[in-house]
Amino acid sequence: MKNLVLLLSLVFAVPLASPAASITDPDQLDWIKGKFKRDTTASIEKLKQLPINSDPEPDLSAGFTSLYKGDGDLSGWTVLGGHHTFKASGEVITGTCVKGSRNAFLSTTRQDYQDFIFTVEMKWQVEGNTGLMIRAQTKPGKKEGETVVFGPQVEMESPSQGRGWSGGIYGEKAGGWHYPLVLDAHKPARKAIVPDGWNRVTVMAQGDTVKTWINGVPAAHWKTDDYIKGFFGLQIHSGKAGTVLFRNIRVKEL
């Protein structure tokens, strides 16, 4: 009897698998299988090790500096990469896709943002892939005079794509997806986007840790030693169309 009690105590002492470590959504599993055809099982196990952001969104009420002065004044910003257009009017910056252009980024001229809380509201007027570069860097392109923007990007993908990875971390010219929102724990974040309305994106970067929130819902929790400081950039992706509005672009340095 004592042995049975001991056995039962050991069985029930084993922690159950956390929902955070599960991937049961068929759409997410299909993406993994399509991306990692040769080592799907190993890739799933690796993705299950992603750390989870369960923190509340940081307080956004005080201590922030606006990065856009309003009234069409884009001083402190410059366009890098392709030739998509960025126009400012009132409280809004509008980025518009120009067919045939490579990715373009309206970027802060200051390039040494390190530890911070960064927040911006964005809205799709015409659907198109976009994103927010953080701690971004540049390097010469293959063509003479060409500048390539690379580094971490908080992905904001077209809502109709249906995958739900807005708020994940993509390596722009820097390794592709670092933190896709594939886990069951990411279900709330995958549903957080308002397709036809404004969406607030918040990023907190401290040392080697980057966390994101979409409309207050925790999304990514990424670790990196490679990208410690850089600039911010508002991306308009290459494609046939896309018009994205940005407003309330603010930063609080930590």
Inter-residue long-range contacts of 155-159, CB under 8 Å, 24+ positions, other chains counted: 155/131, 156/122, 156/129, 156/130, 156/131, 156/132, 156/199, 156/201, 156/244, 157/129, 157/130, 157/131, 158/124, 158/127, 158/128, 158/129, 158/242, 159/124, 159/127, 159/193, 159/195
pLDDT score recorded for residue 8: 30
pLDDT score recorded for residue 19: 52
pLDDT score recorded for residue 80: 97
Level-2 CATH architecture, domain 18-253: Sandwich (2.60)
Flag residues of the chain having pLDDT under 50.
1-17
Instruction: Give the predicted TM-score (pTM) of the model.
Output: 0.90
pLDDT score recorded for residue 36: 87
